[in-house]
A = this chain, B = another copy of it.
Amino acid sequence: MHHYAHNSNETLRKRGYRLTPQRYMILSVIQEADEHLSIEQILERVQKRNPQVSLSTIYRTLELLRELGLVRENHLPGEQPHYETANGLAHHHLVCRRCRAIIHLDEALLGNLNEHLQEQHHYHDIALDLVATGYCDACWLAMQQA
């Protein structure tokens, strides 16, 4: 935990950004969570430590951390965007088109596609986010009957 925070702080400063208490709190909240968080959840948890922190700061900071590659943004259909630390294990999603039920898939699912893409397209520090959509069994049955 703490050395993640440390690295992140260094990244911020190296790129010429200031390490404000707000940025530190927002990063900590995301790093200490064991799941991806919505903006509303991040605001709540940050405001537990300092109720002054404003929603616009959350937005501005998340945008910065995303661009710096310190947090990942997740945007599942029918859901608000969620944020998680870039250090943790990402996972993919299988979503029902009808009832929106979500199954979490293992990150290992995509193997070394990562390196493959890096070599082939000369992009760096690649993260993968797979969204599979289909019908869950219950919805599939319901649709067959109708």
A residues contacting B by CB (< 8 A) are: 15-16, 66-67, 69, 72-73, 75, 77, 94, 96-98, 103, 105, 109-110, 113, 117-118, 121-137, 140, 143, 146
Contact = CB atoms under 8 A, between A and B. Distances in A.
A123 B134 contact: yes
17 contacts: A66-B77, A75-B75, A94-B117, A94-B121, A94-B126, A96-B123, A109-B113, A110-B110, A123-B136, A123-B137, A123-B140, A124-B137, A125-B140, A126-B133, A127-B132, A129-B133, A130-B130
Each complex incorporates copies of this chain amounting to 2
Nearest to A122: B137
Given A77-B73, A97-B66, A146-B16, A130 B133 contact: no
A63 B26 CA distance: 34
Contacts of A136: 122-123
A134 B146 contact: no
Given A109-B113, A129-B133, 11 more contacts: A15-B143, A94-B117, A96-B123, A103-B123, A125-B135, A126-B132, A126-B134, A127-B134, A128-B132, A129-B131, A129-B132
Nearest to A66: B97
A137 B75 CA distance: 25
